[in-house]
């Protein structure tokens, strides 16, 4: 299980998703590095998924190809709709999607219930319902200082969630939380800070300790202001450990980089984003 939430604020959409990979039948969860499940498909189209990675990623890769070939939003969604219809009857494999689009206007959609497409003007979610409910409750309690953009309330909410990784430890939700901002000037990941709960990491790499002891690791999500680039990094300052994520890659979802720094990771992001033809805008 996982959680994904999309919130619309006028012509901007904010997506929040976690990275944990788990299943009801698996003996172990892939908490760190897991996979980034909020995915930029093109500069003006993004998606998030909950469910089977091995069903979601081929569909997202096909959707990204269509999006980057200037396809219609209906054609971009079709592989996601077909995958949901294929998996809906298997609780272990069922895969749902959120879509944020600025192609031919602003649109926020959910693909679920056997290929049904639901459009939303305020809030859509996939995955663990109790976590989505908690996010909405936290947002309702968020402060509203004068001059704050509306989406800052949801960013504040995410910060409360990110800072308390014990909140959903029994819900198969967790790892790193990633926020993706979809706006008319391009879709981009946001630089964030949080804390993750997982088995103690051996400082030489990302291999969890098998002792069963859980540790809290503070982290930073790094991306810069690249628009349309499906690449980001997470940095853990305590062990000086970095993860370079390629959300659309099946074989290399995350490179583990020991003894690194945010500056080094930003350089790797820049190289990858430039190769993708992405643009950088504040």
pLDDT in tens, 88-146: 999 889 999 999 999 999 999 999 999 999 999 999 999 888 777 877 777 777 776 66
Render pLDDT for 133-148 as a digit per residue (tens, 0 to 9). Answer: 877 777 777 776 666 6
If you average pLDDT over residues 49-61, what whole number do you get? Answer: 96
Predicted model pTM: 0.88
pLDDT at 13 over 80: yes
Mean pLDDT of the chain: 86
> How large is the angle between the packed helices 73-87 and 53-68, nearest 10 degrees?
170
pLDDT at 204 over 50: no
Alpha helices (runs of H) in 14-121, residue ranges in sequence order:
53-68, 73-87
Handedness of CA 64, 60, 120, 132 (dihedral sign): negative
pLDDT at 202 over 70: no
208 pLDDT band (50/70/90 cuts)?
very low
- CATH fold label, 3-280: 3.60.20
Choose among 39, 37, 71: nearest CA to 182: 39
Sequence ranges of the domains in the chain: 3-280
Which pLDDT score, from 0 to 100, does residue 78 have?
98
User: What percentage of the chain has pLDDT greater than the value 70?
Assistant: 82
If you average pLDDT over residues 241-259, what whole number do you get? Answer: 93
Render pLDDT for 15-51 as a digit per residue (tens, 0 to 9). Answer: 999 888 866 555 456 677 889 999 999 999 999 999 9
């Amino acid at each position: 299980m996982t959680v994904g939430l999309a919130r619309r604020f006028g012509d901007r959409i904010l997506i929040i998703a976690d990275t944990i990979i788990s299943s009801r039948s698996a003996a172990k969860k892939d908490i760190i590095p897991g996979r980034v499940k909020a995915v930029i498909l093109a500069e003006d189209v993004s998606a998030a998924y909950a469910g089977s990675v091995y069903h979601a990623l081929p569909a997202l890769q096909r959707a990204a190809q269509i999006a980057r070939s200037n396809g219609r939003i209906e054609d971009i969604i079709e592989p996601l709709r077909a995958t949901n219809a294929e998996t809906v009857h298997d609780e272990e494999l069922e895969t749902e999607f959120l879509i944020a689009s600025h192609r031919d206007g602003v649109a926020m959609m959910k693909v679920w219930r056997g290929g049904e497409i639901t459009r939303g003007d305020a809030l859509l979610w996939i995955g663990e319902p109790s976590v989505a409910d908690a996010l909405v409750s936290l947002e309702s309690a968020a402060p509203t200082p004068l001059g704050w953009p509306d989406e800052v309330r949801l960013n504040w909410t995410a910060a409360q969630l990110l800072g308390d990784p014990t909140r959903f430890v029994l819900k198969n939700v967790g790892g790193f939380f990633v926020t993706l901002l979809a706006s008319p000037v391009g879709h981009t990941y946001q630089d964030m800070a949080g804390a993750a709960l997982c088995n103690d990491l051996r400082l030489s790499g990302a291999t969890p300790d098998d002792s069963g002891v859980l540790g809290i690791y503070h982290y930073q999500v790094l991306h810069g202001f690249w628009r349309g680039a499906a690449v980001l990094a997470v940095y853990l300052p305590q062990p000086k450990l970095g993860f370079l994520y390629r959300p659309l890659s099946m074989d290399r979802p995350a490179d583990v980089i020991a003894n690194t720094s945010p500056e080094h990771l930003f350089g790797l992001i820049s190289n990858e984003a430039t190769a993708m033809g992405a643009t950088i805008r504040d």
